[in-house]
Amino acid sequence: MQPVFRIPHLISPLLLVFLFSSCQSEQTHGISTDDYTQYVNSFIGTGGEGHTYPGATVPFGMVQLSPDNENPSFRGGFRYCAGYQYGDSTIVGFSHTHFSGTGHSDMGDILLMPTNGPLRLDPGTRADPDAGYRSRFSHNEEEATPGYYRVNLRDYDILAELTATTRAGMHRYTFNRSDSARVILDLRHSIYNYPDKVLWSQIRVENDTLILGYRQTKGWAPNRYIFFAIRFSKPIRSYGLKNYAPLEYRGFGKRASTVINYPEMAGKQLRGWFNFDLNPGDELLVKVGISAVDMNGALNNLDHEIPGWDFDRVKAVARDRWNHELGKVNVEGAEKEKTIFYTSLYHLMLAPVIYTDQDGRYRGADQAIHQANRFTNYTIYSLWDTYRATHPLFTILEPERVGDMITSMIRHRQQNVHKILPVWSFHAHETWCMIGYHSVSVIADAYLKGIRNFDAGAAFDAMLASSTYAPYAGLGAYMKYGFVPADIEPEGASKTLEYGYDDWCIAQMAHALKKNQKTEDIYQRYMERAKGFEKIFDPATSFMRARKTDGTFRTPFDPLHAQYGGDYTEGNAWQYSWYVPQDVARLIELLGGDKAFIHRLDTLFVIQTDEDQFRQVEDIAGLIGQYAHGNEPSQHIAYLYNYAGAPWKTQEKIHLIMNHLFDDTPYGICGNEDCGQMSAWYLFSSMGFYPVCPGSLEYVIGTPKLPRIELYLSGHKTFTITAHNLSDRNFYIQSVTLNGEPLTRSYIKHNEIMKGGELIFEMGPTPNKQWAGNRDARPYSMSAYK
């Protein structure tokens, strides 16, 4: 069954007046006259392994208020990284923090569940929902649009609606049955319930409508704080608090595990329930503010962002904020294609998230409370994914945010004990997940593109510190040998390749700064480090392979085999040997020239193997031959034909990928969405180009997906992409013009986009093998620009 997917009504003139006259703080945006949210299907990616959530949030919002189907353990919980799986039929409640599209998880904080009838404090199970407070639901009674979610909880006949601001969530529960109406607060619930995940928590009933509290958890983040403030629109009639793990107290035995109408409880495993006097059809509104700082911060965030009780007003403003962001791009095309495009744009803007209270305070990586001066602090940096296309797309659509994101990275470096930039960080913690030091790519790409609203000197110092931190992931051995030895560090082949690209980014930043001779020396040193891929290329097999400290390649060697902790990160030699974005020309040379390179690329897309070769690596998904679009190491590969003078083959492959690996159903994302990276790939590719090598200031041309796209840029400029005669058959480029002049190269430059203009593709059913095939038409490679 498909979800109910309704087109929201445009806001009435009366509501327009109301919004302009009474909205405070966040609620001061003008209402958009164009409703782009109608093209967003929030359920795309909630099935399979897309790992997205359908709930309510605003662009880059700290609150992600969404339903959870389950509170799984780490083992067997991969499908529930976002808390919700479209294939499930029960809901355990609504929590306020979620990742979008990740392959690992945490959070699911501050879960609320409205119930009636007999009191059940345990969640129950999918197999036996009647054993707990969870409820069955149907997708026919579920709806989601940007900033809004609703579902009917069938077991209780309660209509639950959710909306959000940046730091607060708002619930509206309509109790069609009023017997024993209550709301359960579950502080035990988490996404990925590690053993003893909650280190400490507290619930404090301040009065008959206000509850404060916090919890401290260990999970993917080892010591994470979240504080909350909950306000109810009606008075609490009675309540109870229960500690499932009471402690011995000063020799006097265990403290009470359950208290009734007693205003405070602390412990590791707390749940509370709050009873209300309601009549059938009555609404109960609940507002929840969160903070990483303290309970006062949570309360201030709540009262500042949602001062009243008008749910529909908060919902309307959330939709308006989404229209403001989605309206930075206007597209023409079929309804299905517009839905996939705008849903991708929506997913792009779910992370990083704001991690600063209304008063500017935030929790730093040193766990101290800091004051953000003239910047907004952000968190959730899935950088192994997002440096590739998400952050480059932000430099086009969100340049004003980019400086704050980079400043947040610099602050992270200054505050953490290791004194390096984020690797994969969230909520004031470093997870050390994935490889590389890709913050340096984000910084260099932004600086080289002219974004300067951050401290470039501090950023450059941080880049150097991150690239020389010897204890990190074989980096000391990399600096010694010029590659990461397999007998010292796992995934040595992948780490050598990704460190080399990052080092090239540092060299470009050094060259751009041009401070003194020292900077020039740094440039030369890091350009040399960027050639490390040559040291692990095996001419006998034509693959990048892991070497040992004695210089020999590790054996036995199977280029199709993949395993976690092997020589390649979430991939095999066929998938990772193409990762030399800074010097594809040299890779072509190593592989024997253009024809050999093209033949090898063709082979990648058709070679088959027994799935047992990579069955344990669940991230390898979206396969076309050995090309794995569902995971990041493959996502630039289809564009590499351009570097060998065959852009028409790139056009074939991009058309194939977009048509077969994306759709408008809950299963429409072929792998983890990964905090916007999968969506950024689709968005760029729909425009007809992609940043194969961030920092080069070039976007490599593929083939457009939509007949017309308008980018509304800063400075009131517009860049228009038009594809004449485009159809499902006519995906080959015949010719291209930029601002009326022929474009005969297979790339477009960043400044050509940002100054506005028009890129026109003439499309046809057969390839034009002469277009952009000359050597001087090829994109940047460092060996070609010595």
Could you give the 3-state DSSP secondary structure of residue 652?
A: helix
Query: What is the number of residues in the chain?
Result: 786
As given in the structure block, the two tokens for residue 207 are 């009065």
Mean pLDDT to the nearest integer, 557-584: 96
724 burial type by CB count under 10 A (0-12 exposed, 13-18 middle, 19+ buried):
middle
Place of tokens 């952050």: 391
Structural domain includes residue 544: no
Structural domain tally of the chain?
1
CA-CA distance, 281 to 745, in Å (whole number)? 65
Task: Look at residue 22 in the predicted model and tell me its pLDDT.
Answer: 35
Task: Look at residue 610 in the predicted model and tell me its pLDDT.
Answer: 80
Structural domain includes residue 61: yes
Structural domain includes residue 225: yes
Residue 333 CA, chain-centre distance (Å), reads 26
217, 99 in Cβ contact below 8 A?
no
Structural domain includes residue 760: no
708 burial type by CB count under 10 A (0-12 exposed, 13-18 middle, 19+ buried):
middle
Between 20 and 57, residue with greater pLDDT: 57
Condensed to tens digits (0 to 9), the pLDDT of residues 372-422 reads 999 999 999 999 999 999 999 999 999 999 999 999 999 999 999 999 999
pLDDT at 677 over 50: yes
pLDDT at 309 over 50: yes
H-run or E-run covering 481: helix 475-481
317, 18 in Cβ contact below 8 A?
no
At 575, give phi and psi (nearest 5°).
Answer: -85, -30
CATH of the domain at 230: 2.70.98.10
Task: Look at residue 349 in the predicted model and tell me its pLDDT.
Answer: 98
pLDDT at 732 over 60: yes
For residue 36, the enclosing domain spans 13-326
Task: Name the pLDDT band for 274 (thresholds 50, 70, 90).
Answer: very high
**End-to-end Cα distance, the chain:** 58
Mean pLDDT to the nearest integer, 74-79: 71
Mean pLDDT to the nearest integer, 129-147: 97
Structural domain includes residue 161: yes
CA-CA distance, 772 to 778, in Å (whole number)? 7
pLDDT at 29 over 60: no
Alpha helices in 169-310 (DSSP H): 295-305
Mean pLDDT to the nearest integer, 328-342: 98
CA-CA distance, 112 to 161, in Å (whole number)? 12
Residue 299 CA, chain-centre distance (Å), reads 27
Mean model confidence pLDDT for the chain = 93
Angle at 147 between CA 141 and CA 148, to 5 degrees: 20
Structural domain includes residue 478: no
Task: Look at residue 253 in the predicted model and tell me its pLDDT.
Answer: 58
Strand order in the sheet with 381-382: 381-382, 424-426, 429-430
Structural domain includes residue 290: yes
Between 656 and 34, residue with greater pLDDT: 656
Condensed to tens digits (0 to 9), the pLDDT of residues 434-452 reads 999 999 999 999 999 999 9
361, 375 in Cβ contact below 8 A?
no
| Minimum mean pLDDT range among 14-18, 94-98, 431-435, 501-505 | 14-18
Task: Look at residue 609 in the predicted model and tell me its pLDDT.
Answer: 82
Structural domain includes residue 154: yes
H-run or E-run covering 196: none
756 burial type by CB count under 10 A (0-12 exposed, 13-18 middle, 19+ buried):
middle
Task: Look at residue 102 in the predicted model and tell me its pLDDT.
Answer: 96
| Minimum mean pLDDT range among 188-202, 247-261, 347-361, 378-392 | 247-261
The closest of 679, 780, 90 to 344, measured between CA atoms, is 679
H-run or E-run covering 162: strand 158-164
The closest of 382, 392, 365 to 436, measured between CA atoms, is 382
Helix (H) and strand (E) counts for the chain?
18, 38
Mean pLDDT to the nearest integer, 626-647: 97
Per-residue b or e along 372-406, where b marks 16 or more CB atoms closer than 10 Å to that residue's CB = beebbbbbbbbbbbbbbbbbbbbbbbbbebbbbbb
Task: Look at residue 354 in the predicted model and tell me its pLDDT.
Answer: 98
Task: Look at residue 26 in the predicted model and tell me its pLDDT.
Answer: 47
> Which residues, 6 or more positions from 743, have their beta carbon under 8 angstroms from its beta carbon?
736, 737, 759
- The residues that bridge with 369 in the sheet, in sequence order, are 363
